[in-house]
A and B are shown apart, each in its own frame.
Chain A
Amino acid sequence: MKNFKQSFQREMNQYKMSEQAKERMIQKGKKERRKVIYKPLLLTACMMVVFAGILLMIFQQQTTRVGQAEDGIQSIRIDTEARYEEDGTTLTNRWFSSERELSSSKFEAFQKKLKASPVIKKEIEPPSLYYVVEVTKENNEVETFLLFSNDEDTQYYVKELDTDKIYKWADSVEETELFFKLKPSVMEIALIAFIFCMTTLFSTLFIEKEKKESYEYQNKVKNIFGKIILFLNLLLAGYIYLKTQNIFYCVLIGIFVSIIGTFNKNHIRMSRPNAMKLLEGTKDILGYTYAFTIFIFILYRNQNALYVGIAFIVLSFILWLVMKNREEVTCPHCDEVLDYRTAWKLQWGMKKYQTCEYCAQPIYLNKRRIDLQSFLLSLVLGALSIGANLYGIHIAYIIGVIIVYMIYFILFSPLFIRVDKEDKPLW
């Protein structure tokens, strides 16, 4: 009789992993370690500054606090908070002034619309909520109007203070609000959403760099990085909150930012953020974007927004379709998986060939694949543009969609290339 435990242990001790397998694992580990890199702080900071600048520019017209009117320059301003008083309270440079200067081109438009609007005879008292519109002409003459809607919010009226005339504003409620920038346009919100997406995407794309720090230090860096991104996103949201002063949009933007922030934070903490994985993750970002766009469409019932929403859906669908059947880009010589950077250089770089980092052999791009990608892209973009023209979509939306498509094409296409050993002719 023999003891089971001892016999089992003796026999099991003979089961060992082969030395070759261990060696293979060590080699793979070295490659992995080389790729695990987080050193993006400076780059991220620069990008954040750039994006914040763009964001500021977008909101400039809507949110800039304006000082005293300059002599001889016609302007039109609206104040969404301060109430006009009998003693002639002027709009001053208060820190949180809600006074906005509208685009100067609106001066002419305002005059035209005012002429087109009929004067109503009956006396209407402005309700407690009204806006003050201040129009400065070239001779520095200032005309002040009160803009208000009726109780049912179906019509806007403009009261000229000097003459006490009340005009029934010619535009619809929605058009009037957009004209006076009482709420941001769909385009602006789409742009904000896009900027948030790009901020998150770009800042995480450039995380890979040569490893220099110890493993523990990298973890610290990456946690700090995640916090910085989240903090900056929240800062931007806070900025928008202070400036737009419309709680509804602020809540929407807040939700959006937290989704993106959480997504970003988790992605960064979850695992090694190599470029491929993050690019795959952008499908989610894209999903959020179009969900947001569709939400805006429902809110505004605007066909432009619908168009943008459809474009995003199509883009997501295409990405999903190609991602489903995606294979790793491998070196034809040694079968090692090429990293995203090499693939990107091969696709978009100026050099005709790249060198495989594992076997140092030259590798060339398979041109048939490029043709297919270009064909697919032009087909989709063509269909979207023609469709948009037929339904009278504004050219700015079409161009915007094309730009988004191009950016994603540039970012994603290196994932689907095939690589050849030699530079094959086009035929």
Chain B
Amino acid sequence: MTMEELIEAYADYCYRVAFIYVKDCGAAEEIVQDVLLAHYRNEHAFEQRASLKTYLAKITVHKSQDYLRKKKGKWRIFFTKEKEVDIGDSTINPANLYGRKERNGEVVDAVLQLDEKYRAIILFHYFEEYTLAEISEILSIPLNTVKTRHQRAKQQLKQSLKEVYFDEEF
């Protein structure tokens, strides 16, 4: 697979996953770049035990978690704390402006307000339409934990979004 094909097929997908985690357009782009280039360099490392999409999702999740961990690094407390980019926030940043331009995100806004561990589950379940079992594999957490988090995320979303309803489980 050439780099162009890889980007065409998976860049936006990975970008959404990364964005849901880090809530920052610029950082999400960097993460996607890391993920796709890393895969491109080490294509042989992909053993085809899962689909490429799942595989890339997993790498993106790990990279995003790494990013967040670094961001929360203990030495950061001695420096100015980086402001988390909030969708409702009016930070002047070209990347944010770009991201905000076409957004009308009431629902996304509510999802981004959730805790990190709930956000990914909502994204994978409702946007990418993965089953909870698949999500448990991607996130490397037990299925029951995924179910619990899913339920809690739903409850929190129901509270914040009064005018939406959820489908039956799939």
* A positions within 8 Å CB-CB of B: 1-5, 7-9, 11-12, 14-18, 21-22, 24-26, 28-30, 32-33, 36, 215, 219, 271-272
Give the residue name and chain of the A residue nearest to B166 (CB). A4
Q: Which residues of B contact A14 (CB under 8 A)?
A: 102-105
- Contact with A12, one of B16, B32, B157, B165 (Cβ below 8 angstroms): B16
Q: Which residues of B contact A215 (CB under 8 A)?
A: 43
Give the residue name and chain of the B residue nearest to A25 (CB). B33
Q: Say whether A4 contacts B15, CB under 8 Å.
A: no
- List CB contacts (< 8 Å) of B136-170 with chain A: 157, 161, 163-167
5 A-B pairs, CB-CB below 8 angstroms? Answer: A22-B7, A25-B11, A25-B33, A32-B41, A33-B40
Q: A131 to B168, alpha carbons, bound, how many Å?
A: 89
Specify which of A7, A30, A32, A271 lies most central, judged by the most chain B CB atoms within 10 Å of its CB: A7
Q: Say whether B33 contacts A219, CB under 8 Å.
A: no
Q: Say whether A25 contacts B157, CB under 8 Å.
A: no
B3 to chain A minimum Cβ distance, whole angstroms, is 3
Q: Which residues of B contact A15 (CB under 8 A)?
A: 12, 15-16, 19, 99, 103, 108
Q: B36 within 8 Å of A by Cβ?
A: yes
Known: A26-B4, A272-B42. A8 touches B165 (CB 8 A): no
Bitwise, B1-43 to A at CB < 8 A (1) or not (0) is 0011011000110011001000000000100110011001111
Give the residue name and chain of the A residue nearest to B6 (CB). A29
Q: Say whether B166 contacts A5, CB under 8 Å.
A: yes
Q: Which residues of A contact B33 (CB under 8 A)?
A: 21, 24-25, 28
Q: A14 to B44, alpha carbons, bound, how many Å?
A: 33
Contact count band on B: 35 or more
Q: Say whether A11 contacts B104, CB under 8 Å.
A: yes
B35 to chain A minimum Cβ distance, whole angstroms, is 10
Specify which of B40, B99, B166 lies most central, judged by the most chain A CB atoms within 10 Å of its CB: B40
- Contact with A18, one of B16, B29, B161 (Cβ below 8 angstroms): B29
- Contact with B37, one of A5, A16, A29 (Cβ below 8 angstroms): A29
Q: Say whether B126 contacts A25, CB under 8 Å.
A: no
Q: B133 within 8 Å of A by Cβ?
A: no
Q: Say whether B167 contacts A271, CB under 8 Å.
A: no
Q: Say whether B126 contacts A4, CB under 8 Å.
A: yes
Q: B120 within 8 Å of A by Cβ?
A: no
Q: Which residues of B contact A28 (CB under 8 A)?
A: 33, 37
